[in-house]
């Protein structure tokens, strides 16, 4: 037996090779639509092939809006993208913990920005993630270049 995945919903089903030959489209034998998705097609429901794509709808948008409020207020207070120039970046580790601890102690909103403490912590964590994905790689390359010169 073989396993194939529906190109619409990603459902994996076990099939015999003869089934694959009989029921897959001739123009592309790698494509398969499961019965449930096939029924949707027959009844006029739209089908979108988005298996494996990012599902942005999973984000809780009201909470993300609060994070964007933090970023907007930070840009107004300090300057747009100022956070990229802050060193050492441990300041963001400390700040994220301060916001989390304040929230754990029962303080919901940050008194400076009037935004949820956890939105502030998430902002700090996003900054750290950006540094991890961008700056650290550049610094590693600089270190390699220095070693190569030696």
Residue 34 near residue 11, CB atoms below 8 Å:
yes
The reply to whether 49 falls in a domain is: no
Under DSSP, is residue 48 helix (H, G, I), strand (E, B) or coil?
coil
Q: Do 73 and 14 sit in the same domain of this protein?
A: no
Burial class (CB in 10 A: 0-12, 13-18, 19+), 125: middle
Q: Do 75 and 140 sit in the same domain of this protein?
A: yes
- Where are the strands (E) in 83-122, listed by range? 109-110, 115-116
Cα angle value 62/64/107 (rounded, 5°): 80
- Domain that includes residue 31, residue range: 2-42
- Of the pLDDT bands very low, low, confident and very high (cuts 50, 70, 90), residue 39 is low
Per-residue pLDDT reduced to its tens digit, 107-137: 999 999 999 999 999 999 999 999 999 987 6
Q: Do 38 and 61 sit in the same domain of this protein?
A: no
Q: What is the mean pLDDT of the chain?
A: 81
Q: Do 69 and 16 sit in the same domain of this protein?
A: no
The reply to whether 82 falls in a domain is: yes
pLDDT value of position 25: 46
Among candidate residues 108, 119, 112, the one with its CA nearest the CA of residue 70: 119
Q: Cα separation of 103 and 96, whole Å?
A: 11
The reply to whether 129 falls in a domain is: yes
Number of folded domains that form the chain? 2
Q: Give the burial string for 18-42 (b: 16+ CB within 10 Å, else e).
A: eeeeeebeeeeeeebbbeebeebee
The reply to whether 32 falls in a domain is: yes
Task: Answer whether 0.85 is exceeded by the pTM.
Answer: no
Q: Do 37 and 61 sit in the same domain of this protein?
A: no
The reply to whether 50 falls in a domain is: no
Q: Do 106 and 135 sit in the same domain of this protein?
A: yes
Q: Do 38 and 68 sit in the same domain of this protein?
A: no
């Amino acid at each position: 037996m073989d396993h194939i995945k529906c190109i619409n919903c990603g459902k994996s089903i076990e099939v015999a090779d003869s089934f694959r030959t009989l029921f897959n489209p001739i123009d592309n034998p790698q494509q398969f639509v499961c019965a449930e998705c096939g029924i949707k097609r027959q009844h006029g429901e739209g089908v979108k092939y988005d298996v494996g794509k990012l599902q942005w709808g999973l984000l809780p948008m009201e909470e993300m809006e609060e994070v964007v409020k933090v970023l907007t207020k930070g840009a107004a207070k300090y300057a747009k993208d100022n956070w990229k120039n802050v060193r050492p970046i441990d300041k963001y580790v400390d700040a994220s913990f301060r916001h989390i601890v304040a929230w754990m102690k029962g303080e919901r909103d940050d008194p400076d920005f009037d935004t949820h403490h956890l939105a502030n912590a998430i902002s700090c964590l996003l900054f750290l993630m950006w540094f991890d994905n961008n700056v650290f790689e550049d610094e590693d390359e600089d270190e390699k270049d220095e070693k190569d010169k030696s």
